[in-house]
Structures are given as structure tokens and as C-alpha cells.
Chain A
């Protein structure tokens, strides 16, 4: 197959990039390993705030429908149930549907493969009944199965707390949020208030010392402020956060950098969202763990850069659009975490010597001034 643009990953970033690119007349293929598009939006029943101006506040599932439906009349080919498995010597990308492997020759590639959930180790973590918080959400909202009766959550970031709320709404008894630090990591007041009102104990300065049971989790021992507490639990959800998926970038020979606030190791990229490998772009959580607004904006920046380099947008227009998008991204992301945006700037600075003059103004302001 041949195309102008190949997008790896049909989550929010991939779908939005496809829309922006195809609207500029770019022939696009989107590859996604799942049966249906949308990525993590598919199970997100929470209301999404902090979206870019062009989107109304809505829940993940409806946003997903919007993002998919917008592609209908555009030159976008969707290859669902296809996974990128590797590359050829000449730069083509091989995708497989389990039956055969198809080489795709693309002028430009945007990789939007997102993030993986971090694992967390304690004795008994390999028992059935221990799962990531994201897996618990998928079980509830996609498969409509209640993942357990009596649950605890390890970790207290916003996403973990949000899924905690959903667990309660689905009739699960949430018996505690276990946080290693001396305060909650998450900061969404509404969710925290909900958990308080539901009477969920928050164990700070705490960790799980052991989970045990015959063939599945039945009991968990936690250390709370130095003393042990035993709990009858059949569901342990690990919410330790996300880290960018690196595999496709390594196969594409992209250089990596480490930014703790963006989730650890990630591909280096420029203000165009182009990686160290020419014509390979990155967007979404793969470019640093962030909120949905920033995910969509990085996708748009990448798509505009692709449009510019394929001659579908003139330099001036593209530069101006990117600057506006970066500014919006700065506001949306800083609302959640200033450190994240600083991490992003540091990453781009270290990679790119000649940051656009206009952009560098924006960056100077945000590095020094905020």
C-alpha cells in the first residue's frame, strides 16, 4: 500500500491528526490494533474538561464518536485490527492483521501509540484480582463486568481516583486508597469530595506489603503509618501512572530522552513534533503523558507540520497556526501541571538548536516567567 501519511494508533491523537491532515487533502491511513477506534476514550465515562477551544466539554465516549464520524467523508483509510510489527530496510512499515503482513509505503508517519500503565510490585501482585486501574475501567465500561466486590486502589492520581468513583457507582465496595506519599497525588476536588462522601478511607504514608489468596486475591496486608492492617479484598487496582510506549520509535531509530514529568523515557521531538528520524512525527501521550486537551493539540501540531512539509500549507500559515496551538497547549497543560510543560520545553530545547524565533519567545516566557 502507498499513502501520503500513515498514522500508527487510532486513539484521540491519531484520529484528530487524521482529521486535520485529511482536511488538508492528505491521503491518510490509520492503523489500530483494536477492533474499534478511539483508544482509551472508548471506556472513559468521565466528563472531559480542559479540551481545546474547538471541542465542547463532553464525556470520552461521545468525543470518540465525534472524532471517528468526522473522518467519514475524507480520504482516510482505517485499518483496524492491524498492528505495526516492524520496518523494512527501505523505510516501509510492516503492519499485520494476524493473517498476513502488509508493507505500507508512506511519505510521512505520525506515531500516536500512547502510553502503557506502570506496573507496581509487591508480594502477590501476580495473583488474579490484581490489575491496573485502566484494566479495571475497561472491564467495567467496555465489557460491562464488575471486576470485584471489595476493592482497594494503590496510588491516588486523578485517573485512579476517577476510576475509584466509577467503581463505587458500579456497586463495588471501595475499601481504601493506598498512597505512599503523605498527601493525595490527584487534585480534582469534585472526585475527592465524592470519595469522601462515600466514606472511602484514604491511607496516606501507606503501602501494600502483601496480597494473598488461594488462586486469586482474598486478603491484602497494608502498612499504614508503620502499623499493619489486614483487609479482605478481592480486587487490587494499581494506579501508578502512565509511561510512553517506546517500541515503535526504537524500531524507527528515533532517539530518546528522559523527562520524569512526561512519564520517563520518550522520543525526542522538535516544535514541529518531528522526531530525530526525518518524516517520523509523534503526538499524544507518546510525546509525554498529559491531559486530553494537550493530546489533541500535539496531534494537530504534528498534522500541520506534515501538511506543511507535503506542501499543503505554506510556511507562514503553518508557523502561525503552530504558534497558536502551542500557546493553547501551554495554557491547557499548565492548568494541570506546570512541570509537564517545562519538561516538554526542556526536551525540545535539548533536541533542537534552532527553535523558531517566535516560538522561542513563547518558550522563554514560560521557562523563565511561570
Chain B
């Protein structure tokens, strides 16, 4: 098939890009996802999961039964932030500013 055919509609990733990621050593959907953004869009790989698994299976000559779907994440459906804000208090969320004030602890996501 034409290698420019789109596989991931959301991020507009085509067959060639997925094959390139496989060629550079990625063997799993998740690893291909991080290289190409395939499956990272609004549908969260709902459409392309088995298409990509098929390409991996053909490229690496591995049966489909050995190729797992990508890691699936919350929220299971796009959800407005206003609908998420609730009364659940987890206390794990911290402010970057207040963290720099005490001298012994200093972190960020970098």
C-alpha cells in the first residue's frame, strides 16, 4: 500500500512514519507513539490501535498475539476541566513556589 496513507487521523501520521520508527528500533505501540505522536490525539488510539499493531506485526514478522495495545489512560473520554474540578483532595499536588521557600526541598518536573 502507498506508504503515505494516513494511519492516525488525529495526528496525521502515515504508514511511512510508523515504519521508520520501527526501523529505528521501536517494537511496541507505546514506543512508536512517543517517537511519532501516533495515537496521542483526541481519540487516544481508539481507531489506530489495531492498524499500528498490524504494521508492527508485518514489519517485525511477529504474530499479532504478541503485540499489545498501547497503554490506555484516564480520562476514558475527553473531559472538561470544569467537570473534573471537585472536592477530592489528594494533597499530592503542590505549588512550585511554596516548594522553593523551604531550603531543604526543591523540585520540579524538569
Contact = CB atoms under 8 A, between A and B. Distances in A.
A251 B74 contact: yes
B80 interface: yes
A85 B83 CA distance: 11
A264 B31 CA distance: 21
B83 A248 contact: no
Contact of B72 (A99, A246, A264): A246
B9 interface: yes
B79 A251 contact: no
A219 to B, nearest CB: 16
A119 B51 contact: yes
Q: Which 10 A-B pairs have the closest CB atoms?
A: A86-B74, A85-B75, A258-B65, A250-B72, A247-B72, A83-B77, A123-B5, A119-B47, A123-B2, A247-B76
Interface residues of B, number: 30
Nearest to A98: B83
A288 B104 CA distance: 54
Interface of B: 1-2, 4-7, 9, 15, 46-48, 50-51, 64-65, 68-69, 71-72, 74-77, 79-80, 82-84, 86, 88
Contacts of B76: 83-86, 247-248, 251
A98 to B, nearest CB: 6
B48 A85 contact: no
A265 B68 CA distance: 8
A125 B9 CA distance: 10
B1 A119 contact: no
Contacts of B80: 98
A97 B5 CA distance: 36
B83 A116 contact: no
B77 A100 contact: no
B51 A101 contact: no
Contact of A260 (B64, B71, B84): B64
Contact of B50 (A84, A98, A243): A243
A288 B79 CA distance: 28
Contacts of A103: 88
Contacts of B86: 100-101
A55 interface: no
A351 interface: no
A38 to B, nearest CB: 19
Interface in A226-255: 243, 246-248, 250-251
